[in-house]
Each structure stands twice: as C-alpha cells, then as structure tokens.
Structure 1
C-alpha cells in the first residue's frame, strides 16, 4: 500500500500541512518547529494562521516543498505525537 501512496504525488512539490489545536501558549511556535525540523527551508511567511469562530482553537497551515512521502510521514508523525495537535491534514 505504501508504494501506491508514493506514486500519488510527484516530488518535489508544494504541499500544505494543516494542524489544528487549542489556542494556548505557544501552539503556533510548536507547530512551526515540528515542521521546520523536517523542512529546514520553512520560513514564518510560509505559515498562515486562522482562529476558530469562538477563538478557542487555531488552524495553522505550513506550505512546504515536500521532497518525499517519507518526509511527509515524518512530519505528520511528529505532529500527532506532540500532544498539542488535535488533528492534522
């Protein structure tokens, strides 16, 4: 199955990483650092941040140039393992 997933995208390519979590403390910074660990070219200008209508949650999109499926898997793994990210897409 992983072979099929690897053929869906042609690398390198621009790819949006979305992370949702509570608007507490340093959530935006944590997401930035987690993604930057795997995509060193990431700049703060590559992030877009939206507050939920109630102001309790943040949606952060990090636009990266993905190099491989393994890189994307590692980013999503770290976001999931962080505990701060409620959902990532």
Structure 2
C-alpha cells in the first residue's frame, strides 16, 4: 500500500462512466480503458440505462495495478467529449 492511496495493488477496481445513450458507449469505453488495462473484455462491463433511456452508465471492472494507471484511465475518460463523467 502506498502513501497516496488506500488500495493494495493489484486489485479488482470498478470504473463507472456515463454518456448519452445514442452512441456505442460500451465500445468507446473498452477502447479507452484497454489503452491502460489491455486485458479488459466486454464481459467486464455492466450497462445500466437511465430512467428515460437518454443516458447510459457503464461499469467496467478492471484489474488495477497502480494509482498512476487509474489516474490515466480517468483522465482519458473525462477528456473524451462523449463521456459526461467518470467515477
């Protein structure tokens, strides 16, 4: 465990991203996350539409290896214009 995080790596880590439901958001998220976690697959994703179906929340569970890896994933997700936010 490092001083700047409470996580012990490697660990299973869920990443949630939300965007409009009019694009292939799951494909986009896999593409972005796989830059930093190449072992991610569609089976690692769970999708949940908003009440009215306008938005889609996708949770991707990855095997995280470091805080720097997670920071890079979140930065790439939030930099993309089709992703509204990532948690």
TM-score by length of 2: 0.93
- Structure number having the greater helix percentage: 1
Residue 83 of structure 1 deviates from its aligned partner by 1.1
> Which of the residues 49, 52, 55 maps onto 2:50?
52
Q: What's the CA shift for 1:32?
A: 1.1
Could you list the runs of 4 or more consecutive aligned residues of structure 1 that deviate by over 6 angstroms after TM superposition? none
Unmatched tracts of structure 2, length 5 or more: none
Please, what is the CA RMSD of the aligned residues? Answer: 1.1
TM-score w.r.t. length of structure 1: 0.91
Partner-residue secondary structure (3-state), 2:4: helix
Q: d(CA) in 1 for partners of 2:39 and 2:63?
A: 8
